[in-house]
Chain A
Amino acid sequence: MDTALLIEKSILVIVLFLISLGAAAYMTYFERKLAAWIQDRVGPDRAGPFGILQPIADGVKMFLKEDFIPAKADKWLFIIGPGLAMFTALITSAVVPWGPNLHLFGREISLQVADINIGILYVFGVLSVGVYGIMIGGWASNNKYSLYGAIRASSQMISYELAMGVSAITIVLLSGSLSLNDIIAQQSQVWNVFYQPVAFLIFFICALAELNRAPFDLPECESELVGGYHTEYSSMKLGLYLFSEYTSMFISSAIMAILFFGGYNFPGMSHFSGNTLALLGIGAFAIKIFIFIFVIMWIRWTIPRFRFDQLMHLGWKTLLPLALVNLLISGLVIAYNNGWF
């Protein structure tokens, strides 16, 4: 590997890391603002103009709080838990292509950290590991509420991963590739959501469940489980859990935009080329991500939480059969179009 590539990738990794963290920080602000607007309130407006410095104030507060580890907790797992949650939330961004290639200093720079040909599998693999952060944290706390939260999180994530995976397979069938780049390239004319609206709906609902967002936020579930899996956490460990939730929300929005809304493709793309195209592509991708984040938050402040049996019912008896039927039908249609009958 030559040095220039190494430098280029390192810079990209650092920039992505900072962007993910910054986006997560400002998503907390945006979420509070949105909640306030929906409830006819103003929201945070004291720190800086329009409260724009609120995330910094929150971060400083988190750092200054007492970092408490319960006496009966498993100390090392207790520390590893939030770190693992944050780690898995961040490494998903490695395979996301953030835009068309940039041309700088006579080099063609790919805006993707790792162009692996099994991008989707990588994303799903990391998502499955993501549950360990919550599970370990809940287990190590040695608290019944934490444990309940952790149990719920793991069963919920495992159940919804199935339907999510099946609806992603329909996309793989359409593009014929597991690489995220190929999936984006295949959508340059028509976005997948127009071919696969049902798969998108299933994927979106499952993504909400995977993210532990309302209406599927049973793992934290303030009204029953105090704080769920992070009941015993305080200070920046709690901050990392909350942060990882928002980071994964950011990354999942990116994944949904890639799989169903054409990633960095935008209408009228063929009129541009070079760096203009790259910048516009990044902009279009950012707008798509923002819209997804907005809708996810909008849903959170609209719908009440599902009961646990309703959640399982929806996942196993509705979404999974629906996803399977959808997969079967789209498979048949694709086979027919390829002239297999």
Chain B
Amino acid sequence: MDSLTNRKKVVSDKPMSLWEKAYLPAIISGMITTMRHMFRKRKTIKYPEEVREFAPVYRGQHVLKRDEQGRENCTACGLCAVACPAEAITMTAEERKPGEESLYREEKYASSYEINMLRCIFCGLCEEACPKEAIFLTDRLVPTYFERDNFIYGKDKLVESLDNRIDITKRQHTGKRSEI
């Protein structure tokens, strides 16, 4: 029967010829190979100074989005926490008081919203579960800390600030969401 590919290699255990037994030719050809590698371009990316180019759909640190008027999208429905396979998300819901309409879009909002970045596996299921377009994963990296407490991100770190909006269009145009 013909094989599907031509990658098959016939292995044999025939004794080595004198040329092969001398080892030296093989060793020298190996040394030429390593010598060639010495002058190649280095593959290393020196991280703090250089950052690897991310894929457009990279799933890094989360952001809690605000809408155009600067109101928080999140309504604390808890679907992201339910969807989360690592159980990294916790939140407390609160009712919007009169006069807070400019802060929160929906009548209910998350008074606290925490993601444990040590538990999070960056799968993006929270993003998929969210009915309010509130949580997105971005191409930012979660930095390292010495203490575990620092990895529990509250609203102060997750909600985007008004004057420094986080661009999530790259993740919206992945064919998953055709309309907003």
A101 to B179 CA separation, bound complex (whole angstroms): 87
22 A-B contacts, Cβ less than 8 Å apart? A34-B38, A38-B34, A38-B37, A38-B38, A39-B37, A40-B40, A40-B41, A40-B43, A40-B44, A41-B42, A41-B44, A42-B42, A42-B44, A42-B46, A298-B34, A299-B27, A299-B31, A302-B27, A302-B30, A302-B33, A302-B34, A303-B30
Give chain A interface residues in 33-49, CB to chain B under 8 Å.
34, 37-42, 45
Further contacts, 13 of them, CB under 8 A, given A38-B37, A40-B40: A34-B38, A37-B37, A37-B38, A41-B42, A41-B44, A42-B46, A45-B46, A298-B35, A299-B27, A299-B31, A302-B27, A302-B33, A302-B34
A38 to B42 CA separation, bound complex (whole angstroms): 10
CB atoms of B31 and A40 under 8 A apart:
no
Residues of B within 8 A of A (CB): 27, 30-31, 33-35, 37-38, 40-44, 46
A37 to B27 CA separation, bound complex (whole angstroms): 19
A298 to B38 CA separation, bound complex (whole angstroms): 10
Residue of A nearest to B24 (CB): A201
Residues of A within 8 A of B (CB): 34, 37-42, 45, 298-299, 301-303
Residue of A nearest to B37 (CB): A38
User: How many residue-residue contacts, CB under 8 A, span A and B?
Assistant: 33
A292 to B33 CA separation, bound complex (whole angstroms): 19
On chain B, the residues within 8 Å of A34 by CB distance are 38
On chain A, the residues within 8 Å of B31 by CB distance are 298-299, 302
On chain A, the residues within 8 Å of B34 by CB distance are 38, 298, 301-302
Between B33, B38, B40, the greatest number of chain A beta carbons within 10 A of the residue's beta carbon is seen for B38
A34 to B37 CA separation, bound complex (whole angstroms): 10
Residue of A nearest to B22 (CB): A318
On chain A, the residues within 8 Å of B35 by CB distance are 298
Residue of B nearest to A301 (CB): B34
On chain B, the residues within 8 Å of A42 by CB distance are 42, 44, 46
Between B33, B35, B44, the greatest number of chain A beta carbons within 10 A of the residue's beta carbon is seen for B44
On chain A, the residues within 8 Å of B46 by CB distance are 42, 45
A39 to B33 CA separation, bound complex (whole angstroms): 11
On chain A, the residues within 8 Å of B30 by CB distance are 302-303
CB atoms of B27 and A303 under 8 A apart:
yes
On chain A, the residues within 8 Å of B42 by CB distance are 40-42
A40 to B40 CA separation, bound complex (whole angstroms): 7
CB distance from B39 to the nearest CB of A (A): 8
On chain A, the residues within 8 Å of B44 by CB distance are 40-42
CB distance from A310 to the nearest CB of B (A): 10
A303 to B35 CA separation, bound complex (whole angstroms): 13
